[in-house]
Amino acid sequence: MNQSARSPRRTLSLSLVLLCATGVACHGSPQEKARPPFSAAEDAVKLDPAAPGPMKFGTTEAAAGEPLPLPPVTARVSTVESMTAPSFAPLAGRVVTVNVRLGDRVAEGDRLIEVRTADLPTLQHERRAAELAIKTRKAVVERIEKLVEARAASQNELTVAQSELDEARLAAQAAAEKIRSLSIKTAGATSYWVLANRAGTVVQLDATPGKQVGPDGDKPIATVAELGEVLVLADVAQRDAAALTPGRTAEIRFPDGAEAGISGTIESVSDVVDPDRQTVPVRVRVKNDRKALRPNAFVSVLFKPPGEAQIVGVPASAIVSDGARSIVFVETTPGTFQRRQVEVGRQSKERAEILSGVRPGERVVSSGALLLLNALDVEG
C-alpha cells in the first residue's frame, strides 16, 4: 500500500486520539462520529471551531525576567593571601616544643615552635668574631694615629688601618642582620623559637616534638591568618563560567542548612581551565565577622544573576522535541498554533530560558504541545 493510501487513516487515528484527549466520546464507528478537529499546513496547526467538542490548549505568555540561577556549586573555604602569614623553620633542626594548637589565637611575635639546631652556634660565633675584630682594628687605628702624630708612621698606614676597621664593622653588621632576618627568638646557645609573623588564628600547623624541620621543607611549619574575611574557591563548569563576572553577588550556603546564607562578591574568574577537573576556578570574597566560615570547610555557592539581566522565560512543559530540535508552539491567532524552533538555555522543573525563537509577550502552548507536534508529523 502506498503512502497516500495510509495517510487518511493516520490522520483519522490521530484525530480520535485528540478527541479522546479532550473528552470527546470515543465509542461508535470512527467513520460515522469522528471528525478531524484540526487542519495542519507547513508549520502551523489550526483548530476547527465547528468540530464537535472543540479542543482547548493551555497557553502562557512568554515573559522577560531574570535568568534562572546556576545550580549550587561545591566550594572550599580558604584564607585571603594578603591576610595570611606563614612561618618557616629557617635553620635545620628538630622540634623541641610546640606552644600552640590549630585554631589558637595568637599575637604578632608570639612564640610558636621551639627548634634545636647546630647551625645557631655557628651564626652566633660569626657575629661575636666580627664584633671582636672591630675592637682589634679600632685599637690598631688608635695606635697608628699616635705614631703618625709622632712622625713614626705614614699617613698611608693609617688609611689602610681605617679601611680594615670599616670592613670589620661591615662584617659585624652583616652577621647581626643574618640572624635578625631569620625572624626568630634565640633560646640559649642551640635553640630558637619560630615566631608568629602577624596576629590572627593558627590555621595550619606541621610540627610535632622530634620532627626534623628546616628551610628545605615544602610547606611552612605554621600559618597564622586573620579570618575577618575569607575566600571561597569554587570550580565552575565551563558552560556556566561565561555568565560570571567579578563584582557579581554569590550566596554561600552551609551543607547542613544550620546557618542562613552569607553573601559574598566574586573576586575573580580564571581565564584558564583547570587541566585536571576541566572546570574554571572562581574566587568569592566573603565577610566573615562571625567566623562562621572556617578554612578548609566545604560549602555550596549559589551564583545570583545580575539585577539588570533579562531573558525570555516559558514553562518547561511548553518545550517539546522532534528529535534534533527543541520546539514550542506559539498561538498567532485564536486557535492557530505555529511551530517555532527555539534555542533553550538553562532549565528547571518549572521554567526554561529561551535564548532565541520566541519574543516576550507571545503566548506559547504550555499544555498539549506534544499533541500539536504529532498533528504536524501526521499531516507532514
Residue 20 clears pLDDT 70, i.e. is over it: no
Confidence of residue 12 (pLDDT cuts 50, 70, 90): very low
Report if residue 184 sits inside a domain.
yes
Whose CA is closest to 104, among 288, 214, 227, 233? Answer: 227
Out of 245, 269, 303, a domain closes at: 303
Side-chain-side CA neighbours of 207 within 13 Å: the count stands at 30
Say if residue 247 is in the same domain as residue 276: yes
Say if residue 321 is in the same domain as residue 261: no
Say what the pTM is.
Answer: 0.67
Confidence of residue 319 (pLDDT cuts 50, 70, 90): very high
- CATH number at 244 reads 2.40.30.170
Report if residue 218 sits inside a domain.
no
Structure confidence at residue 258 (pLDDT): 59
Structure confidence at residue 260 (pLDDT): 64
Out of 213, 241, 271, a domain closes at: 213
Residue 54 clears pLDDT 80, i.e. is over it: no
Say if residue 115 is in the same domain as residue 190: yes
Structure confidence at residue 366 (pLDDT): 93
Report if residue 337 sits inside a domain.
yes
pLDDT mean across residues, the chain: 85
Q: How many domains are contained in the chain?
A: 3
Sort strands 320-321 and 326-333 into parallel, antiparallel or unpaired.
Answer: antiparallel
Q: Which domain holds residue 124?
A: 89-100+109-196+208-213
Say if residue 354 is in the same domain as residue 369: yes
Distance CA 38, CA 50 (A): 10
Confidence of residue 180 (pLDDT cuts 50, 70, 90): confident
Q: What is the mean pLDDT of residues 141-166?
A: 89
CA dihedral of residues 242, 248, 249, 251 (deg, nearest 10):
20
Report if residue 261 sits inside a domain.
yes
Structure confidence at residue 87 (pLDDT): 94
Structure confidence at residue 9 (pLDDT): 36
pLDDT, tens digit (0-9, with 9 covering 90-100), for 57-69: 889 999 998 888 7
Side-chain-side CA neighbours of 176 within 13 Å: the count stands at 9
Structure confidence at residue 240 (pLDDT): 85
Residue 241 clears pLDDT 80, i.e. is over it: yes
Q: What is the mean pLDDT of residues 190-217?
A: 94
Report if residue 202 sits inside a domain.
no
Highest mean pLDDT among 42-46, 155-159, 227-231, 370-374: 227-231
Structure confidence at residue 307 (pLDDT): 60
- CATH number at 346 reads 2.40.420.20
Say if residue 299 is in the same domain as residue 316: no
Structure confidence at residue 320 (pLDDT): 93
Structure confidence at residue 55 (pLDDT): 65
Q: What is the mean pLDDT of residues 188-215?
A: 94
Out of 213, 239, 267, a domain closes at: 213
Residue 15 clears pLDDT 50, i.e. is over it: no
Say if residue 94 is in the same domain as residue 178: yes
∠ Cα 121 122 124 (to 5°): 65
Confidence of residue 211 (pLDDT cuts 50, 70, 90): very high
